[in-house]
Amino acid sequence: MTVNPSGWRPSAPANEQGETHTVTGNRALMLEEPLIFEIGSTEETGVDFAEAPQLPTRLGGLERNREIGLPGLSEPETVRHYTRLSRQNYAIDLGLFPLGSCTMKHNPRLNEKVARLPGFADVHPLQPQETVQGALQVINELALWLLDLTGMYGVAMSPKAGAHGELCGLLCIRAALEARGDKREVVLVPESAHGTNPATAAFAGYRVENIPANAAGRVDLVALTARLGPDVAAVMITNPNTCGLFEPDMKAISDAVHAAGAFVYCDGANFNAIVGKVRPGDLGIDAMHINLHKTFSTPHGGGGPGSGPVVLSRALAPHGPLPFAAKYLDGSYRLIEEENAGEEHPKAFGRMVAFHGQMGMFTRALAYILSHGSDGLKQVAEDAVLNANYLLRSLEEVLDAPFAGSGPCMHEAIFSDKGFAHEINTLDLAKALIDEGFHPMTMYFPLVVHGAMLVEPTETESKASLDEFIAAVRSIAERAKAGDQSLKAAPVYAPRRRLDETLAARKPVLTYREPEPAAAAAE
Ligand SMILES: *Cc1c(COP(=O)(O)O)cnc(C)c1O
């Protein structure tokens, strides 16, 4: 079937701004692109295949009897299709990516180069261990760095994302409690927690209860201590928290939690703010995941891959999952797996993943750590905090900053929609940022702040790029306060305008259905 051999399909939406339309739908360098199924021809292919040999079928009459309907494009058409699509996206390599809580920082190309070395990129997880000593050494060295930076006792390298690390930590806690015959069933989570925290606790089989925040945006220590008791297994706390604030009571919280026989889980996704400055182990934390794909660069967004190693206290380390890399006295490395775990790690709760974790992310993170050195990592945290405070102080006159009065923020600054004209909201500001060429900040999270806007500039932004972003936000914020209705139409310059994001999330259309021919549809 040939849909449209020329590949062109003018599909630009009618422009309410009265701009002239083009025949192609393109607007100069902004190129429209149909779905891959709507271009090319299923008769065509970019490759010449030899005729398939006629083999006896073993499908018992279930052979496909129609065309499979794969798109058919030549190689240059394919390259153009994906290149055009990629240009409609935003990336950290294009500009400041202000997403709060996500630490979208520059990914040094050196990391990429190292991760692509054949000795790292082309190894197979089932290769004999003596042929992958270098890869095992990378896992082990990175593990040692993470232990050093956090002041913890053990580390599980295999979890493949932050949320996966949370699950790993809670499973360690569950194993430790079960080992002492303790059936606790509640996990306490602050109101401002990242959504993955309560989700993880529920997934691990615990009942989740909220701990309120105090007026300064921190965990309410009194309310927390009052709730502790023999049914509480763990408290999950993010530090620095999702309002961009350090929890100064962390040690007191840990002491109280331990006194009540429970464990402290720390969501360490915001480690970027404190790396080299504070060791979570000194704060009494029992388990904390580190998002390698945030703190130690490594590309993320677009669905991964991520990597979420979990550092563990002395009490939890014996229960950490298999496998893990260990260095032997003769200098060789070995994976401790099921077969030998009985002698060397008998209390492991089990496995998180089929193999050993996200090798490419380990290599990138170690390259990042080694190229910064310990002094450089400390500077990462200092510069990230400085940049966030520069943003906070530069925007607090135009945007309500609910916690600005309680002192400096950490790595991210939070604002609210207080003071916007009646019909204008956070979403409108975010959409207008797209017209200014920025990815929007994190919106409506955390829930404890009305119409929240959470901005994390990271240490990789220069003062010039921060100033450009500040100028854009200031101008939009002023329009929002003045009730400028044109904000409701934003974005006007993006390839698509306002989409029904709720519908797209609730009812995703994941398969292509050929539109019915007009005549047939009319019958
Ligand atoms: C990113 C993040 C997570 C989850 O990490 P993933 O790698 O996306 O699973 C958890 N908590 C906080 C505070 C985060 O910022």
Same-domain check for residues 204 and 150: yes
pLDDT value at 3 more than 80: no
CA–CA separation, 236 and 233 (whole Å) = 10
Average pLDDT score over residue span 366-378: 96
Structure tokens at 386: 């400085």
Judge if 339 and 237 occupy the same domain: yes
Q: Provide the 3-class DSSP secondary structure of residue 176.
A: helix
Residues 362 and 386 in one domain: no
Q: Is residue 43 part of a domain?
A: no
φ, ψ of residue 263 to 5 degrees: the values are -115, 155
Q: Which two tokens stand for residue 497?
A: 């305008």
Per-residue pLDDT band at 79 (split at 50, 70, 90): very high
Residue 10 has pLDDT above 50, yes or no: no
User: Three-class SS of residue 453?
Assistant: strand
Region of 19 on the Ramachandran plot (φ > 0 left; ψ -120 to 50 alpha; else beta): beta
142-169 residue pLDDT tens: 999 999 999 999 999 999 999 999 999 9
Query: In the prediction, which pLDDT does 7 show?
Result: 43
Q: Is the pTM of this model over 0.85?
A: yes
With respect to residue 5, please indicate whether it lies within any of the assigned structural domains. Answer: no
Counting Cβ atoms within 10 Å, is residue 396 exposed (0-12), middle (13-18) or buried (19+)? middle
Q: Which of 11-25, 81-95, 458-472 has the lowest average pLDDT? A: 11-25
Statement: residue 523 has pLDDT above 70? no
- Output the furthest CA–CA distance in the chain (Å, rounded): 80
| Residue 21 covered by a domain | no
Atom of ligand 1 nearest to the CA of 293: 7
Q: What is the mean pLDDT of residues 184-197?
A: 93
Residue 512 pLDDT greater than 80, yes or no: yes
Using the mean position of ligand 1's atoms as its centre, give its distance from the Cα of residue 54 in Å. Answer: 51
Q: Which atom of ligand 1 is nearest to the CA of 294?
A: 1
| Cβ(476)–Cβ(98) below 8 Å | no
For the segment 52-72, the average pLDDT, to the nearest whole number, is 87
Q: For residue 65, is it within any domain? A: no
Domain hosting 475: range is 380-498
- Residue type at 469 in one-letter notation: F
Residue at 154 is within a domain? yes
Read off the tokens for 337: 């797996």
Domain stops at, among 341, 366, 391: 366
Q: Are residues 300 and 411 in the same domain?
A: no
| Residue 226 three-state SS | helix
Give the closest residue to 399 by CA, choosing from 474, 454, 451, 456.
Answer: 474
Residue 35 lies in a domain: no
Q: Are residues 404 and 329 part of one domain? A: no
353 & 322 share domain: yes
Q: Over 90: is that where the pLDDT of 228 sits?
A: yes
Span 170-187, mean pLDDT?
Answer: 97
Ligand 1 pocket check: which of 203, 267, 298, 358 to mutate, most ligand atoms within 8 Å of Cβ? 267
Residue appearing with tokens 């979420």: 308
Tens of pLDDT, residue by residue over 292-305, are 999 999 888 766 68
DSSP character at residue 4 = E
**Alpha-carbon torsion 174, 177, 180, 181, what sign?**
negative
pLDDT above 60 for 8? no
What CATH number corresponds to the domain at position 470? 3.90.1150.10
Residue 201 main-chain phi, psi, to 5 deg: -60, -40
What are the residues facing 188 on neighbouring strands? 209, 235
Rounded Cα distance between 463 and 274, Å, is 21
Determine which residue's CA is closest to atom 5 belonging to ligand 1. 162
CB of 268 closer than 8 Å to CB of 166:
no
209: nearest Cα among 237, 171, 182, 235: 235
- CA 357, CA 305: separation in Å to the nearest integer? 11
Contact 420, 482 (CB under 8 A): no
pLDDT confidence of residue 32:
87
Distance 322 CA to ligand 1 centre (A): 23
What's the domain count of the chain? Answer: 2
Paired tokens of 223: 């309310």
Q: Please give the number of the atom of ligand 1 that sits closest to the Cα of 163.
A: 9
Number of H helices, E strands in the chain: 15, 14
Look-up of token digits 């009812």: 507
507: its two tokens: 């009812």
Return d(Cα 168, Cα 290) in angstroms, integer: 12
| Residue 386 pLDDT greater than 60, yes or no | yes
* 169 and 303 together in one domain: yes
pLDDT band of 230, cuts 50, 70, 90: very high
What is the per-residue pLDDT for 16? Answer: 60
What CATH number should be reported for the domain holding residue 344?
3.40.640.10
CA–centroid distance, 300 to ligand 1, in Å, is 11
Q: How far is the CA of 198 from the centre of ligand 1 (A)?
A: 12
Tens digits of per-residue pLDDT, 442-471? 999 998 899 999 999 999 999 999 999 999
- The per-residue pLDDT for 151 is 97
Place of tokens 């975010």: 430
Residue 308 sits in the same domain as residue 347: yes
% the chain with pLDDT above 70: 94
In this prediction, residue 17 has a pLDDT band, given cuts at 50, 70 and 90, of low
Which one of 336, 366, 396 terminates a domain? 366
Q: What is the tens place of the pLDDT at every residue in 407-427?
A: 999 999 999 999 999 999 999
Which tokens in the block code for residue 340?
Answer: 């030998």
523: its two tokens? 């019958």
Q: Specify the pairing of strand 186-190 against strand 207-211.
A: parallel
| Mean pLDDT value across residues 8-30 | 67
Q: What is the pLDDT of residue 27?
A: 83
Same domain, 228 and 334: yes
Cis peptide before 305 (omega within 30 of 0): yes
Using only C-alpha atoms, what is the Rg of the chain?
A: 26
Q: Kindly tell me if the per-residue pLDDT of 4 is higher than 70.
A: no
- Nearest CA-CA partner of 213 in 247, 180, 183: 247
Name the more confident of 430 and 12: 430
CA of 193 to the centre of ligand 1 (A): 10
- pLDDT at res. 511: 87
Q: What is the average per-residue pLDDT within 81-85? A: 94
Residues 189 and 210 sit within 8 Å (Cβ to Cβ): yes
State the Cα–Cα distance between residues 308 and 159, nearest whole angstrom. Answer: 5
Q: What is the pLDDT of residue 299?
A: 87
Please state, as a whole number, how many other Cβ atoms lie within 10 Å of the Cβ of residue 472: 17
Ligand 1 — pocket residues by CB below 6 A? 101-102, 161-163, 194, 196, 238, 242, 267, 269-270, 291, 306, 308
Q: Whose CA is nearest to atom 1 of ligand 1?
A: 102
Q: Is residue 90 part of a domain?
A: no
Q: Which residue has the higher pLDDT, 403 or 303?
A: 403
Band of the pLDDT at 57, cuts 50, 70, 90?
confident
Mean pLDDT of the chain: 91
User: What pLDDT, in 10s, does the model give residues 270-289?
Assistant: 999 999 999 999 999 999 99
The mean-pLDDT minimum among 67-76, 325-334, 369-378 falls in 67-76
Going by the DSSP 8-state scheme, the letter that residue 305 receives in this structure is: -
Tell me, what's the pLDDT at 473? Answer: 98
At 303 the pLDDT is 65
Amino acid at 318: P
What pLDDT, on the 0 to 100 scale, is given for residue 5? 42
Mean pLDDT of 219-248: 94
Residues 223-250, mean pLDDT to the nearest whole number: 94
What is d(CA 413, CA 134) in angstroms, rounded to the nearest whole number? Answer: 41
Give pLDDT, residue 215: 84
Which protein residue has the closest C-alpha to ligand 1 atom 8?
162
CA of 473 to the centre of ligand 1 (A): 25
Q: What per-residue confidence (pLDDT) applies to 519?
A: 61
Residue 354 and residue 474 in one domain: no
Q: Is residue 107 part of a domain?
A: no
Considering the domain architecture, whether residues 147 and 291 belong to the same structural domain is answered as yes
Residue with tokens 């962390």: 250
Q: Is the peptide bond before 446 cis (omega within 30 degrees of 0)?
A: yes
Domain boundary, last residue among 366, 390, 421 = 366
- Same domain for 403 and 342: no
Site to substitute for ligand 1 among 97, 99, 101, most atoms within 8 A of C-beta? 101
Task: Give yes or no for residue 9 having a pLDDT over 50.
Answer: no
pLDDT at 1: 38
Residue 511 Cα to ligand 1 middle (Å): 29
Question: Is 521's pLDDT higher than 60?
Answer: no
> What is the distance between the terminal CA atoms of the chain, rounded to a whole angstrom?
22
Q: Give residue-wise pLDDT tens across range 312-329.
A: 999 999 999 999 999 999
